Amino acid sequence: MRQPFACTGCGTVLPAEANFCFKCGRAQSGTAEPAGSPKTQPPTPDPRSYTPRHLAEKILTSRSVLHGERKQVTVLFADVKESLELAGRVDPERWHAILDQFFAILCEGVHRFEGTINQFTGDGIMALFGAPIAHEDHAQRACHAALYLAAALRRYSDELRLTEELNFAVRMGLNAGDVVVGAIGDDLRMDYTAQGHTVGLAARMEQIAEPGRIYVTEHVVKLTAGFFRFRDLGPLEVKGVADPVRVYELEGVGPLRTRLDASRARGFSRFVGRAKELAKLEAALARAGDGPGRVIAIVAEPGVGKSRLCHEFAERCRARGIAVRRAHGVAHGRRIPFLPVSELLRS
């Protein structure tokens, strides 16, 4: 006699007569081993099937130097609110198609900002920004990805509300902290050990978030202050953490775009030692004023003041009544075609 068994897709315990999983919608062959069997291991998707080639190449290229390294990352969790109830209201095959599109949206949004999907959770994902591909702006990338996903999922939810009469709502949670990078296999499967409750806190933010909202910890806010708008929700007692954790809701993009903007908000130091470079820019401007246009490329090591030089020159131009237009090639927008061009045209 057939016994209750575990779904081959998400591990949910199903009754003996089930032909489809009522949680993830996956078709069941009926040959799965009984639930609780030590041999039952719900398979996870092969990362090679959903990771873009350019990201896969970066991961495999750097994996030998990443093993055992401590990394600063931002963790993002996203899942469907009350997915079990929603699954029971539609045909299993239709629910499977709905989740397929949901995961496609999540993958596209995470990979757009060079994050990595580390785990599928049945009705959601866990994603990392900053490892295995290192980014110093990992928290900004994660916040941009969360806002992008929120907008895309809002459109998808509206579509499902009209076509299926489903209140399909997604909640997200973010936290920043340390992880230790473990082994990365040829198939891109990765092993991470969370330090300081980094992953647990991110999961907790997602669990308490209201449908359609993005909750983050104070660790994320400290790394992205000014770049995004947050609403302070107050302290939260979290099991396993001695002190209350301050929780914020991510509401949108803030006024700052670059690190130069952040420095300007704090107040610049005195601008000295760039008379030679300014003279070259002034000479190029004078030649451009005589008729032929000019393009100036400023190249130097990171941190020596390229952005500040451009800012000071632009301010001098504005003081003379010369129209100045700005566009940014921000790091997290590398995969967005013509981003600086479109920003320049909008300005």
CATH number of the CATH domain containing 122: 3.30.70.1230
Mean pLDDT of the 332-347 span: 77
Q: Which domain holds residue 22?
A: 1-43
Q: Is the pLDDT of residue 187 over 60?
A: no
pLDDT of residue 285: 86
Nearest to 335 by CA among 133, 190, 162, 166: 133
pLDDT of residue 246: 94
Task: Give this prediction's pTM.
Answer: 0.70
Residues 193 and 233 in one domain: yes
Nearest to 179 by CA among 202, 160, 151: 202
Exposed e or buried b per residue across 202-241, where buried means at least 16 C-beta atoms within 10 angstroms of its C-beta: bbbbbeebeeebbbbbbbbbebbeebbebeeeeebebeee
pLDDT of residue 42: 40
Q: Is the pLDDT of residue 24 over 50?
A: yes
Residues 27 and 172 in one domain: no
> Which of 229-233, 269-273, 312-316 is predicted most confidently?
229-233
Place of tokens 């997915």: 83
Please give the Cα distance from 264 to 2 (Å, whole number).
Answer: 69
pLDDT of residue 335: 67
Residues 36 and 77 in one domain: no
Q: How confident is the model at residue 263 (pLDDT cuts 50, 70, 90)?
A: low
pLDDT of residue 155: 96
Q: Is the pLDDT of residue 289 over 50?
A: yes
Please give the Cα distance from 172 to 96 (Å, whole number).
Answer: 21
Residue 2 lies in a domain: yes
Residues 198 and 213 in one domain: yes
pLDDT of residue 308: 82
Q: Of 169-173, 192-196, 328-332, which gets the smallest average pLDDT?
A: 192-196
Q: How confident is the model at residue 35 (pLDDT cuts 50, 70, 90)?
A: very low
Residues 229 and 161 in one domain: yes
In the chain, the number of structural domains is 3
pLDDT of residue 179: 78
Residues 69 and 129 in one domain: yes
Please state, rounded to an integer, the average pLDDT across all residues of the chain: 80
pLDDT of residue 168: 93
Residue 347 lies in a domain: no
Q: Is the pLDDT of residue 306 over 80?
A: yes
Q: Is the pLDDT of residue 53 over 70?
A: no
Mean pLDDT of the 6-25 span: 64
Per the structure block, which two tokens stand in for 318? 């504005």
